[in-house]
Amino acid sequence: MIKVSKTTLIRTAAAASVVLLAGCSQEPAELPVSFSKDVMPVLQQHCSECHMPGGVGEVASGLDLSSYEGTMKGTKFGAIVRPGDSTSSTISILIEGRADPSINMPHGDRPPLTKEETDIIAKWINQGAKNN
């Protein structure tokens, strides 16, 4: 019979508990953001009035936000979405108010996007800006 001290037994039990709890303390995986279900409704509410074919914003910049393809094509000046990098994606810079006030979006008297709405777009971009 092997003798194990009470201290060794307690230390072993404590170590096992830490290992088991470590797996439980992980944060749940972030749910995927859907372009069609999550992002498109935000774009339709805040952007599509101007950034649709023939709209003032589309004529001025070439940006058509009425579809995934148009969103990913960007403007006549270049892409507005950098998949995986919302921080440097032009669309995020403009809708989060990080650009010059004269070009922040939406323009005029239209209300800015909420933090929740800008977070949806940022998460979608950070998750790869997929057509889902």
pLDDT tens, position by position, 60-112: 999 999 999 999 999 999 999 999 999 999 999 999 999 999 999 998 889 99
Q: 75 by DSSP, 3-state: which?
A: strand
The set of residues, in sequence order, having a beta carbon less than 8 Å from that of 79 and lying 6+ positions away, is 72, 73, 90
Q: Which residue has the tokens 């006030």?
A: 101
Specify whether the CB–CB gap between 32 and 132 falls below 8 A: yes
Residue 20 confidence (pLDDT) above 70: no
CB neighbours of residue 91 within 10 Å: 25
Which of 20-34, 45-59, 66-80 is the least confident region?
20-34
Report, as an integer, the average pLDDT of 39-66. Answer: 97
pLDDT band (50, 70, 90) for residue 30: confident
Nearest to 70 by CA among 80, 83, 60, 85: 80
Strand partners, 78: 75
